[in-house]
Amino acid sequence: MGIQLVVSEFISQGKSLYHRLRSDGEALSDVELMALREQLHILDAEAGHLQELKEFESEDSPFIFNGKRPQAAKQLGRKYHG
């Protein structure tokens, strides 16, 4: 299964989860809510990292193709290692 399909399914299921949380989310324990929020945070951090990489690659691709990597590339690192 390709990553695009997985993301599409996640978004679809996320919409359903949103409505379930609105209607009967009170039934979740504090631990379950904390786990949900942590997982969403991890996904958000990784999506942000990927977006930054794409922006960096599009802005600085001439430097990379010339074999010269700008200083910013050395400083660009993952926000979450997990």
C-alpha of 6 from chain center: 13
Question: Does residue 41 lie in a domain region?
Answer: yes
Question: Does residue 47 lie in a domain region?
Answer: yes
Which has the closest alpha carbon to 50: 7, 12, 13?
Answer: 7
Question: What's this model's pTM, rounded to 2 decimal places?
Answer: 0.64
Domain that holds residue 70: 3-75
Cα–Cα distance for residue pair 37/43, rounded to 1 Å: 10
Question: Does residue 80 lie in a domain region?
Answer: no
Question: Does residue 81 lie in a domain region?
Answer: no
**Looking at the 3D structure of the chain, how many domains does it have?**
1
Tens of pLDDT, residue by residue, the chain (82 residues): 799 999 999 999 999 999 999 999 999 999 999 999 999 999 999 999 999 888 877 765 555 555 555 555 445 554 444 4
